[in-house]
Structure formats: structure tokens, C-alpha cells
Chain A
Amino acid sequence: MKGAGTVGAIIRWARRRSPWVLHFNSGGCNGCDIEIVDTLTPRFDVERLGILKESSPRHADILLCTGPVTRQSRARLRRIYEQIPAPKWVVAVGGCSCSGGIFRGGYNVLGGIDQVLPVDIYIPGCPSRPEAIIEGILQLLETIE
């Protein structure tokens, strides 16, 4: 949202300094999920960067997706994305979210997240390390004006 003047500047500053993330697993093996949860824990502590893990799509700015998209997950993934108020960004964490990974071609797998949603940042890895996840989110934040 482009606001004019001081209010707009504060909003943009707050958005960059404190992005709240929602995590959705659309069919992954859990490897990336546990590395995402790991970023919240003392060794990596993303909260120092202002990142909080939220429970409701209505409170989120960034959708962190893991796993390939399975047929069953597709509709819910789309719905959650639509429930997140704009501006919003999508991060594909892990090889499976990027492209379907090693499950690509499976009879119940549609592919990576970009088969369903527009993805802003792709973080490769199988699983992605917490450092890579943090780096990916920080790179995304730099592109947010």
C-alpha cells in the first residue's frame, strides 16, 4: 500500500522490519518444515529480525510454502493465499516447492508452488538450511520498498 508522507513511510518501514510469516506445507516430507521451525528456536532466532510466525492468514505478510503441491492441497493453498491481505509475498522453501523436487511427475503431485501461486523468492535445498531460509527472507525484504 503506497501511503503518502510520514504515515506511508512508517508503514513501509514497519513492513520491512517486522514481516509476519505464515507457514503452509502443501505436501512436503517435513524436512523443510522442521528447518523453518528451527529458525524460530534459540540458535537462529528469527524473531530478532522481527519475523514472527503467525497462525492466521489474516495476520501474515509472507506465505512460506514447503513441499510440492499435491492434488488435495491445491485448493487450500490458493484459498489461504487469497485470505492474506495485500501486500503479500510468497516464498518457496526447498527443492520441492521450487519445482516439485524428487516427487515431480508423481501421479498426485502437480509440481512446485508456482503451479498455483506467484512465487517471489525460491530457496533451494533438500532440505533448505535455516541459514538459507533466513537469507532468502532477508533478500525478499530488500526487494520490498
Chain B
Amino acid sequence: MNVELLLQALREVLSAPSLDAEYLPIDETCIAVPAECLRRAVDVLVGRFRVTHLSTITAEDTGLEIVLLYHFWDRRGLTLRTSLPRDGPHIASLARIIPGAIFYEQEVAEMLGVVFDGHPVAASLLLPDDWEGPPPLRRPTGDDV
């Protein structure tokens, strides 16, 4: 996967001419996209560049926002980064394009309370069915980083 070609395709599809990549350790390319554009960006990755391996989705409540990192792999690491508001975070599910995303989205949903629109499964993955209390990886309100 050629990063320059990917950036060109994304800039065109997302109408974002200033889209750029940053480089993270260890040998990882990271591209930030707005949450409402994530699904289209993944469509480009999968449809045009044949990048289908999603390693996982990292989610973090930083206190200011919820950051989602979608880690892809195509002989090198590529991460798509997006962020959601802490109140009522929701984003389109990738389950239909990449079935492997189902478990990862399920985990993010129960650990951080993110809603993945169109996700086929409503149940918990790791937490008990009778879990009461806030999603475990949410920071308590007022605890800003």
C-alpha cells in the first residue's frame, strides 16, 4: 500500500485537500479523519487498496473527547484516527464491510459506551450481562487529562 496514493484518494473522496499523514512509532502511518467520514475512508481502503486486515479498534476517553484508532495492517501498520464527543458518541459500524470488526466494536461499545450505528449484535462481549455502572474505561466526569 502506497501511502501517497492513499492520501490522494482520501483527499479526493473526503473533499479534504489538507489531509495528511503523521508517523508514529513503531513504523506506523496515522491519518486523522472526521468521524462522519470514517466509513467512506474505510470503503476506500478496502475497495480501492484491498486493505482488509483490521487489527483492532483502540478507544480512549481522554476526558475531553473519545478518541478512536482503527489499526489496519498491510505489510505495514496504518491507523485511522477519529474522535467523538463524550456525550452521546456514535459512529457508523464497519461490520458490513469488515466482519472482523464486530468483536472490536462490541468491546468499545461496552467499555466506553460508544454506539456503533448498524452493529448487528447488542450483547456484551466481555462484561457480565448484569453489569451495572458506567462503562469501565470511561473517566469519571470532571477528571480531565
A residues bordering B, Cβ < 8 Å? 71-72, 107-108
Contact = CB atoms under 8 A, between A and B. Distances in A.
A71 B136 contact: no
A72 B128 contact: yes
Interface residues of B, number: 5
A71 to B, nearest CB: 5
B136 A107 contact: yes
Nearest to A107: B136
A3 B133 CA distance: 52
- Nearest 4 pairs between A and B by C-beta? A71-B128, A72-B128, A107-B136, A108-B127
8 contacts: A71-B128, A71-B130, A71-B131, A72-B128, A107-B136, A108-B127, A108-B128, A108-B136
Contacts of A72: 128
Nearest to A70: B128
Contacts of B127: 108
Nearest to B126: A108
Contacts of A71: 128, 130-131
Nearest to B133: A107
Interface string B126-145: 01101100001000000000
Contacts of A108: 127-128, 136
Nearest to A106: B136
A125 B44 CA distance: 51
A108 B128 CA distance: 9
